[in-house]
Amino acid sequence: MREREPLLAGGLVALMLALWLGFLAHTDPRFAGSAWGGVLGVAGALAMTASLAYGLVKRVGPVRRWVTARVSMRAVLGWHMYLGLGGAILGLLHTGHKFESALGVALTAAMLVVVLSGYVGRHLMKQIALEVNEKKALLTRLELAYRETAAELAAHPEQVALLRPWAGFWGRFLASLFFPRTVPAPAAVRAVGLAESMADLEYSIKSHETLRRWFAGWFRIHIASCVVMYLLLGLHVWAGVRYGLRWFA
């Protein structure tokens, strides 16, 4: 289940975005006020409210100790994530793709930001960090191999003259033809391949680090958007009660 979690969460996020974009092809002005629309809205609001329990468990010591004695924090976080995603999906179904009121549009926008920022922090940032660590480990191994090859070249300076013909893209391509993987290539050819592999890895690591810096503020965005979303959700529920529960009529 742990291995499938990113795939399942990504599928639910994709479904949520597809439902949101459904307004381009479908609009039902009366669905939100119908019985089924009301049931979906209430269920979505309850699911999103229940997801708040994660913050209570995480920050209140006695509650955390009582809960973690029975389930892991990872499981609690999983419930938080799936309740939030499920609530967002039910909320979008509740709208009937009628985005006309300012409150409804603002609530939908806040809900999307909450889910996307949470997904970025939970899965995307974790995947980026994992890939960076794997590439750094591979870069360390390549650097070791390069130092060994450089020492071999220092012991056989006559091979340095072989470097020039195999430099560049076409040189590497021809080297792969003349020196297949099953045949040990000269140290000079290996040095060129290792140097360019290290350069490619360093560029990839730098790109991942840049992406990680871009998303470094995901937690602050997630918390701020959560506060806004729950305030708007409270206003939305109040408006429904204030102007009559039409969907249960």
Q: What is the mean pLDDT of residues 28-44?
A: 85
The range of the structural domain enclosing residue 162 comes to 131-212
Q: What is the distance between the alpha carbons of residues 163 and 153, in angstroms, rounded to a whole number?
A: 10
Residues 109 and 137 in one domain: no
- Whether residues 57 and 115 share a domain: the answer is yes
What's the pLDDT score for residue 182? Answer: 40
Rounded distance, CA 249 to CA 241, Å?
A: 12
Tell me: do 49 and 164 sit in the same domain. Answer: no
Could you report the per-residue pLDDT of 77-99, keeping only the tens digit for each? 889 999 999 999 999 999 888 87
Alpha-carbon distance of 206 to 136, in angstroms, equals: 11
| 188-229 per-position pLDDT tens digit | 667 777 877 888 889 888 888 887 777 777 888 888 999 999
pLDDT at 169: 55
- pTM, entire model: 0.67
* 115 and 236 assigned to the same domain: yes
Residue 160: the pLDDT is 59
What sign results for the dihedral spanned by CA atoms 189, 195, 198, 200? Answer: negative
Of all residues in the chain, the percent with pLDDT exceeding 90 is: 21
Interval 97-142: pLDDT, tens: 887 788 888 999 999 999 998 888 777 777 788 888 899 899 999 8
| Distance set, CA 190 to CA 9, 120, 199, 218 (Å) | 43, 39, 14, 42
pLDDT at 184: 47
Count of H helices and E strands in the chain? 10, 0
List the one residue out of 88, 86, 94, 89 whose CA is nearest residue 34.
Answer: 94
Looking at the structure of the chain, the number of domains it has is: 2
- DSSP notation for 13-70: HHHHHHHHHGGGT---TTGGGSHHHHHHHHHHHHHHHHTTHHHHHHH-HHHHHHHHTT
Residues 136 and 118 in one domain: no
User: Quick check: 173 pLDDT over 90?
Assistant: no
User: What do you get for the CA distance between the two ends of the chain, in Å?
Assistant: 42
**In degrees rounded to 5, what are phi and psi of residue 184?**
-60, 125
**Residues 13 and 95 reside in one and the same domain:** yes
Residues 90 and 21 in one domain: yes
181 falls in which pLDDT band (50, 70, 90)? very low
